[in-house]
Amino acid sequence: MSEKKIVFFDIDGTLYNENKQLPDSTKKAIQDLKTKGHYVAIATGRAPFLFKDLRDELGIDTYVCFNGSLVVIDNEVVSKTLLDKDSLDKLIDFSSNRQHPLVFMDPDDMKTNIEAHPHVEESMGTLKCYQPGHDASYYVNREIMQTLLFCSEGEEAQYVNSFAKFDFVRWHPLSVDVLPVGGSKAKGVETAINHLGFSKEDVYAFGDGLNDIEMLQFVVNSVAMGNAHGEVKNAAKHITKHVNENGIEHGLKMVGLL
């Protein structure tokens, strides 16, 4: 296949396995994609500082992160969407009254407004990254593109009904992403491909999580991992093997890119 394509990869559960490791077959598959002249990009809910090592290892300079709120093309920011400041102030009061911690995230760092909370420690621990420090005023005068809200499954309904300018997407049994309303990986991917001049027919995407659903529905050539949620598999055109079973390599071969 000689015509240049662009492929977006989620990170957790897609490029990374459950131990947050990059399988050798996945690394080689990415290198082979690039050798064939295809454009490789990342689409993740993570903040950029949480996957810099991965970008460096794979040589990737284009990414959609914060679930679409930040789009970077060849290391240059082309789009960013911030959380509404007034709504964020209200969210802080609302969540504090319910003893639900928040983690504020900008492109450079993250801080929690409640020190040493077990829900924060448990859910952030699954990312195999450092725990956020405590700074309740971190959001002030910073470009907050995403916030993490820590509450049990079902408890986010009260937030959904109270904050029209935010979307709430669960990524862990104890945590949800707080995003600008209408924000998604799909929006970020659309921004990226329009900027780069790719037609939708030349766009591919791999994912496994609930925050990948809109992206997989938007992208014509979408692939769900074998380890994906059932809803995610239903949203994708193709289903590849489990991430631990050379799922990326298998999926790229399946769609004819390798």
Note the Cα 99 to chain centre separation in Å: 26
pTM for the model: 0.91
CATH for 85-180 (3.20.20.70, 3.30.1240.10, 3.40.50.2000, 3.40.50.1580): 3.30.1240.10
Q: What fold, for 6-80+183-254?
A: Rossmann fold (3.40.50)
Determine whether 127 is exposed, middle or buried from the number of CB atoms within 10 Å of its CB (0-12, 13-18, 19+).
Answer: middle
What ranges do the domains of the chain cover?
Answer: 6-80+183-254, 85-180
Is 80:106 a contact under the CB 8 Å cutoff?
no
- What would the pLDDT profile of 21-39 be if each residue is shown by its tens digit? 999 999 999 999 999 999 9
| Closest to 206 (Cα-Cα) out of 2, 5, 4, 50 | 5
- What would the pLDDT profile of 201-238 be if each residue is shown by its tens digit? 999 999 999 899 999 999 999 999 999 999 999 999 99
Query: Residue 26 and residue 235: Cα distance in Å, rounded?
Result: 23
At 187, list the tokens. Answer: 């929006």
Residues taking part in catalysis: 10
